[in-house]
């Protein structure tokens, strides 16, 4: 267990640091009184049991985890609109506190399961008492609708271990299509929504003064 604590420590540090940094981007948009493409940010270090399961499934030797398992440290950035995702991706590409190693666009190319999300794998330098350590971190960028679907599907996947009964499989496919249409509908009234949100933010600021 001591070994795992030591192994996971830089991953925990990377997640904590990146949560502050990525949440900070949202704050900056708020301070500039402009629409934030980031709704909220979450982060986690993969539980040891999930690391072992995934290593087993994918045939990754435990001494190769650092280089071959890209999502031990994971961040999620949720956006209101599909177009916000592109904006967030551009913002991340412009940063110079990490390097982008890989990008996977499961929005233009959704997975067979119906999963949609934009994945970015970055190499993030963590400063430790033994010097700099570079850590792979996966950032998943998705809309609230994509996140809703993925969260539900993930819990069902856990229950059925990927072997969904036919009716559940069909419902999940339909739910994925509904989430896609929801994103499309929201994009069409984006201007209207943002105007209303800006109005309420201003009103709240005036009340707080
Ligand atoms: P957890 O519990 O989220 O950590 P693979 O795992 O083979 O699909 P790979 O190469 O690891 O693929 O990379 P990928 O697909 O870019 O990222 C894997 C992560 O994306 C998953 O982590 C999920 O978080 C998410 N994901 C990918 N496909 C799906 C899907 O069909 N449904 C849902 N709900 N999430 C998905 P883990 O390790 O599976 O789990």
- Minimum-distance ligand 1 atom for the alpha carbon of 150: 34
Q: What is the predicted pLDDT for the residue at 162? A: 81
Stated pTM of the model:
0.93
Pocket test for ligand 1, best of 71, 116, 141 (most atoms within 8 A of CB): 71
The contacts of residue 112 (CB under 8 Å, 6+ apart) are none
Per-residue pLDDT of the chain (209 residues; tens, 9 = 90+): 569 999 999 999 999 999 999 999 999 998 887 889 999 999 999 999 999 999 999 999 999 999 999 999 999 999 999 999 999 999 999 999 999 999 999 999 999 999 999 999 999 999 999 999 999 999 999 999 999 999 999 999 988 988 999 999 999 999 999 999 999 999 999 988 888 888 777 777 788 77
Decide if 192 is inside a domain: no
Q: What is the predicted pLDDT for the residue at 129? A: 94
Pocket test for ligand 1, best of 69, 104, 115 (most atoms within 8 A of CB): 115
Decide if 91 is inside a domain: yes
Q: What is the predicted pLDDT for the residue at 209? A: 72
| 154 Cβ inside 6 Å of ligand 1 | yes
Q: How far is the CA of 117 from the centre of ligand 1 (A)?
A: 10
| 119 Cβ inside 6 Å of ligand 1 | yes
Instruction: Answer yes or no: 138 catalytic.
Output: yes
CA 13 to chain centre: 17
Q: What is the predicted pLDDT for the residue at 38? A: 97
Taking residue 208's Cβ as centre, other Cβ atoms within 10 Å add up to: 6
| 150 Cβ inside 6 Å of ligand 1 | yes
CA 108 to chain centre: 16
| CATH value at residue 129 | 3.30.460.10
What is the ipTM metric for this complex?
Answer: 0.91
Decide if 181 is inside a domain: no
Decide if 116 is inside a domain: yes
Catalytic residue among 16, 68, 138, 184: 138
| 42 Cβ inside 6 Å of ligand 1 | no
Q: How far is the CA of 157 from the centre of ligand 1 (A)?
A: 11
Closest CA to 149 of 167, 175, 117: 175
Distance CA 207, CA 99 (A): 42
| 93 Cβ inside 6 Å of ligand 1 | no
Domains: count for the chain: 1
Decide if 189 is inside a domain: no
137 is in which domain, residue-wise?
A: 2-144
Q: What is the predicted pLDDT for the residue at 121? A: 98
Place of tokens 């033994």: 130
Decide if 209 is inside a domain: no
| 104 Cβ inside 6 Å of ligand 1 | yes
Decide if 193 is inside a domain: no
Decide if 110 is inside a domain: yes
Query: Which residues are 83's β-sheet partners?
Result: none
């Amino acid at each position: 267990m001591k070994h795992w604590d030591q192994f996971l420590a830089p991953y925990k540090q990377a997640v904590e640091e990146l949560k502050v940094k990525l949440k900070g981007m949202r704050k900056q948009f708020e301070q500039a009184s402009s629409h934030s493409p980031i709704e909220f940010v979450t982060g986690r270090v993969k539980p040891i049991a999930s690391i072992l399961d995934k290593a087993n499934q994918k045939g990754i030797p435990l001494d190769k985890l650092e280089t071959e398992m890209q999502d031990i440290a994971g961040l999620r950035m949720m956006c209101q609109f599909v177009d916000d995702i592109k904006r967030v991706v551009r913002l991340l590409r412009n940063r110079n506190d990490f390097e982008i190693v890989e990008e996977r666009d499961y929005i233009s190319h959704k997975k067979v399961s119906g999963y949609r999300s934009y994945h970015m794998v970055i190499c993030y330098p963590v400063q430790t008492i033994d010097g700099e350590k570079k850590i792979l971190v996966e950032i998943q960028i998705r809309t609230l609708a994509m996140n809703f679907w993925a969260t539900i599907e993930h819990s069902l996947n856990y229950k059925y271990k990927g072997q969904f009964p036919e009716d559940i499989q069909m419902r999940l496919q339909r739910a994925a299509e509904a989430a896609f249409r929801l994103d499309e509908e929201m994009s069409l009234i984006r201007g209207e929504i943002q105007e209303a949100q800006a109005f309420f933010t201003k009103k709240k600021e005036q009340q707080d003064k």
